Amino acid sequence: MTALPFNRPGRFWRGNLHTHSDRSDGALSPEEIGRRYQEAGYDFLVITDHFRAKFGFPLTDTRPLRTPGFTTLLGAELHPPRTEFSSEWHILAVGLPLDFPPPRPSETAPQLARRARAAGAFIGMAHPAASLLTAVDAESLDAAHAIEVYNALSAREDRGDSWHLTDVLLNRGRRLSTFAADDAHFQPQDPPGCAAWVQVRAESLAPEALLAALKGGHYYSSTGPELHDIQLDDGFITVRCSPVRKVLITGGDPGAQVVQGEALKECSLPVAMFRRGWCRVTVEDMDGKRAWSNPIYL
């Protein structure tokens, strides 16, 4: 997770890690969702239907949607009880086997997340801001690989961004990666989807290669801009990207390093101020859309 993905073998593959179909509370069939994402230029998709008893604990089999140029990973959104302010958790498990057993009546969130991780899944805390997840809640989920730092559906409620909690956890020593996703349900009142995604660096589009890259943190997240390269050298981070109006480096200390301009494509910024040992890159384009690196450990 500490290694930047840009010089790794392979290429970037665009994917959405959080989507719901009519197997739970989504409006569309898995087939229609797959068609929409494929036509939008995505390389892979994860349908994470709600793993609840009222839906029959669905683990939606999307293998029939796979083609030579488009693939899927199997997953679900798990809902064990409870957090400080909610009756249930929202935990993404990407890469679950189809025979993953439902939660046991006495199973806690940390226990269920550990079991899903032991079964091979990439574990993410879904939309912490929208769920009002606290630092105490998040610290208890010791099996998590990552946090969903931007959720396009939750942005409708002005709770799409979960960077504050993530930065607190990083400062407390949790080594987590970060991802953006749609959480698309395709209901009439919802955003249309294809609004937030990950770019995963892997040698192939094979599901096992993508899953390994996710677990390794070999990806970045975006709602629009592209990150072409990030390099750390001699106390400076150099960022190369699609044209943006702002490049921002933040970390475990208050304050930031910022460059602003028109159609910025490359800049270098010092990292000496980040004494807690990590930082991250954000770029913002002319439409206000952003892309984020994973945490960079100095």
For 262-297, the pLDDT digits (tens) are 999 999 999 999 999 999 999 999 999 999 999 999
Q: Quick one: which of 51, 13, 55, 36 has its CA closest to 209?
A: 13
Check pLDDT > 60 for residue 202. Answer: yes
CA distances, 111 to each of 41, 117, 118 (Å)? 37, 10, 10
> Whole-prediction pTM value?
0.97
Contact 291/227 with Cβ under 8 angstroms? yes
Contact 185/25 with Cβ under 8 angstroms? yes
For residue 68, what is the enclosing H or E element?
Answer: none
**CA 222/CA 240 separation, integer angstroms:** 15
Check pLDDT > 70 for residue 2. Answer: no
Average pLDDT, the chain: 97
The pLDDT of residue 192 is 86
- Counting every residue written for the chain, the total comes to 298
Contact 292/281 with Cβ under 8 angstroms? yes
**Structural domains of the chain ordered from first start:** 11-221 (3.20.20.140), 227-297 (2.60.40.10)
Q: Which two tokens stand for residue 25?
A: 């509370």
Question: Quick one: average pLDDT of 129-157?
Answer: 98
pLDDT, tens digit (0-9, with 9 covering 90-100), for 114-142: 999 999 999 999 999 999 999 999 999 99
Question: Quick one: average pLDDT of 145-163?
Answer: 97
Q: How confident is the model at residue 169 (pLDDT cuts 50, 70, 90)?
A: very high
**CA 102/CA 112 separation, integer angstroms:** 9
Contact 197/221 with Cβ under 8 angstroms? yes
Higher-pLDDT residue of 191, 34: 34
The pLDDT of residue 51 is 98
Q: Quick one: which of 108, 271, 257 has its CA closest to 283?
A: 257
What are 296's strand-pairing partners? 279
Q: Quick one: which of 191, 206, 240, 193 has its CA closest to 220?
A: 240
Beta-strand relationship, 11-16 and 50-51:
unpaired
pLDDT, tens digit (0-9, with 9 covering 90-100), for 65-89: 999 999 999 999 999 999 999 999 9
Check pLDDT > 50 for residue 93. Answer: yes
For residue 78, what is the enclosing H or E element?
Answer: strand 71-78
pLDDT, tens digit (0-9, with 9 covering 90-100), for 207-249: 999 999 999 999 999 999 999 999 999 999 999 999 999 999 9
**CA 215/CA 97 separation, integer angstroms:** 16
Q: Quick one: which of 142, 80, 141, 126 has its CA closest to 107?
A: 80
Question: Quick one: average pLDDT of 186-204?
Answer: 95
Q: Quick one: which of 37, 2, 43 has its CA closest to 19?
A: 37
CA distances, 98 to each of 78, 95, 245, 250 (Å)? 14, 9, 44, 40
The pLDDT of residue 144 is 98
Q: How confident is the model at residue 1 (pLDDT cuts 50, 70, 90)?
A: very low
pLDDT, tens digit (0-9, with 9 covering 90-100), for 172-181: 999 999 999 9
Q: Quick one: which of 89, 218, 222 has its CA closest to 145?
A: 218
Q: What single DSSP character describes residue 294? A: P
The pLDDT of residue 141 is 98
